[in-house]
Amino acid sequence: MPQLYGFDVEDLTFSRMLALKAKKNGDKLFIDYLPDGRKFSYRDCDLKSNRLANGLLSYGLGKGSHAALLMENCPEQILSHFALGKLGVIFAPLNPAARGPFLEYYINHSDATAIIVEEHLLDQVREIAASVPQLTHAFVLKASSGKVEVTAPPAATLIEIDFATLYDHPDTPPGIETHFSDLCSLMYTSGTTGPSKGNMFSQAHTMTFGMASRPVHKLTSKDVIYCALPLFHAGAWNTYTCGSLLDDGQIVLVRRFSVSRFWDEVRASGSTVTFLTAVTHFFVAQPESPDDRTHGLRLMIAGPMPADTVAFQKRFNLDLGTNFGLTDYCLTHGLGPDDPVSKHGSCGRPFEHCHVKIVDDNDFELPRGEAGEIVLRNDMPWSTSFGYYKNPQATVDAYRNTWFHTGDRGYVDQDGYLWYRDRKKDALRRRGENISAAEVEAAILRHPAISECAVYGIKAEGTDDEIAVTLVLKQNEALDAFAFIEFCGKTFPYYLVPRFVEFRDAIPRTLNYKVQKVKLRDAMQENWKTAWDREAHGIVFTRKKI
């Protein structure tokens, strides 16, 4: 029987793997949910996901159906993933901040006919229900405590079902035959010249996405992984939740990252490993304390790493590591505790079966040490995404000349370590979120007074991109920055509302009519301190409080 990462390939379906792990591990703890103290063993996860699967099946969801999930981190999200996988339903985990035209696009593009949604996010679904007529069922996870205000009226086209009633069904396997190569999930990532793209993951790839990284970081069944990043991302869901399942490990789950709660939660839960994105500077900014070293955390997998890795490791008494890869393809590089400090800041070396080249604009390989586009190849079968859902041209473009083109620039040093430089593509990254400039622009152009816009990233106080926008108004139209931001705040996810706004009579273009964003970006970067800045006016958008 062929194997992937030590598993018989035929066992790499959610139905088979959960049954095997429940039999092997029984009452061993798999999910420790800190917000309310609930704990789920391997057996619990298998039996409860069977109940959910049978419940969903009773509403017509079966193999080949499509569903979306709009949820914050919670055990029910993981159990729902398991249940949908057992049914062969193709599921799309969505950013819970998605709303308005963004949420409408995700649901329509993913062909979802059902959605599993937390009650406090239900308004976002009701508001766009008329624009997603194929969405007929919403399984609503009610709040366990406290009052949740749902203000949008129920949609006539949407049947709302209490998620808890799904548990009333039998805990026997649903009896749907699935295969390791079946399309399993759609993971949405930032687009470059268009809307966000849905990456197609097989059952096997969904579960094994992060397995190649585990030997580099010396992860074992004894590790307890603290998970604060969102489960709609490949890091939290595919790399560490599914990776822990396959490795007989344990995850500690929290709703969201909090620097003030982090160390206390790590200590209380006995966590040994965590993975974080773009937050290490928060730890450095805290006053030093003797408690900095009193915890059981042995490894922090961070991207990017802190500026002074030696001081960070010494202060917090732990090792640092990192990973590199793309949801669009696979995880390909890692840096672990055994790598020299001189390589900190790099992406590490390729995992087994993974290969990297640095190429010029014509796909010809460049010499070691010279920067160009990073292209990747994985020669392990079923270890990469299938491509982009309903976007064959983007798939062909990305996979041209037998290598996957990342759109990122970097170089490989003489020791084989990959060093990331910057993005070649027109995308931004802010607070760990990949942002499609084209997607934000499309939403902005819905404003009736705006004829043209250009969205781009600049650096302000920190290292993350801040969203800036240049606007051109239609003739005889009037709009100021305050009214524009009010428009964005009503319909955009909080993290997509631009910070810097400028108005121009025209947007600079090339002779081929391409927008010259480099000119706009350079001008705004030079003058951002005097540009219109919503934060300077006290206008701040954050995630919805729950």
Q: Which pLDDT tens digit goes with each residue over 506-531?
A: 888 755 456 788 789 889 999 999 99
Q: What is the residue extent of each domain of the chain? A: 3-202, 209-234+248-423, 433-537
Give the domain 209-234+248-423 fold.
Rossmann fold (3.40.50)
d(C-alpha 65, C-alpha 83), whole Å: 13
Distant-in-sequence, close-in-space partners of 56: CB < 8 Å, separation ≥ 6:
67, 83, 84, 87, 89, 114, 139, 166
Distant-in-sequence, close-in-space partners of 370: CB < 8 Å, separation ≥ 6:
358, 411
Q: Which pLDDT tens digit goes with each residue over 369-402?
A: 998 999 999 999 999 999 999 999 999 999 999 9
Q: Which pLDDT tens digit goes with each residue over 450-485?
A: 988 999 999 888 667 899 999 999 889 999 999 999
pLDDT on residue 285: 82
pLDDT on residue 442: 82
d(C-alpha 188, C-alpha 327), whole Å: 8
* 201 pLDDT above the threshold of 70: yes
Cis peptide before 304 (omega within 30 of 0): yes
CB 541 within 8 A of CB 497: yes
The residue ranges of DSSP E strands in 360-490, in sequence order, are 372-378, 404-412, 418-423, 427-430, 433-436, 450-459, 465-473
413-448 in b/e form (b: 16+ CB < 10 A) is eeeebbbbeebbbbbbbbebbbbbbbbbbbbbeebe
Tell me the Cα Rg of the chain.
Answer: 23
CA atoms within 13 A on the CB side of 299: 19
Write down the CATH superfamily of domain 433-537: ANL, C-terminal domain (3.30.300.30)
Element (H, E) at 201: strand 197-202
Rounded alpha-carbon distances, angstroms, from residue 219 to 185, 260, 276: 25, 26, 16
**Percent of all residues in the chain with a pLDDT value above 90, rounded to a whole number:** 80
127-143 in b/e form (b: 16+ CB < 10 A) is bbbeebeebbbbbbbee
- What is the number of residues in the chain? 546
What CATH number should be reported for the domain whose range is 3-202?
A: 3.40.50.12780
d(C-alpha 70, C-alpha 118), whole Å: 7
pLDDT on residue 63: 97
Question: pTM of the prediction?
Answer: 0.84
With bands split at pLDDT 50, 70 and 90, how would you rate the model's confidence at 307? confident
Q: Is 232 helix (H, G, I), strand (E, B) or coil?
A: coil
* 425 pLDDT above the threshold of 70: no
With bands split at pLDDT 50, 70 and 90, how would you rate the model's confidence at 404? very high
* 211 pLDDT above the threshold of 60: yes
Q: Give strand pairing partners of 377.
A: 355
* 140 pLDDT above the threshold of 70: yes
Q: Which pLDDT tens digit goes with each residue over 20-63?
A: 999 999 999 999 999 999 999 999 999 999 999 999 999 999 99
Q: Please determine whether the domains at 209-234+248-423 and 433-537 fall in the same fold group of CATH.
A: no
pLDDT on residue 119: 97
Instruction: Write down the mean pLDDT value for the chain.
Output: 93
Angle between helix 75-87 and helix 42-58 axes, rounded to 10 deg: 60
pLDDT on residue 396: 96
Tell which residue, 329, 207, 268, has the closest CA to residue 32: 268
Q: Which amino acid is at 435?
A: I
pLDDT on residue 72: 96
pLDDT on residue 439: 80
d(C-alpha 229, C-alpha 301), whole Å: 12
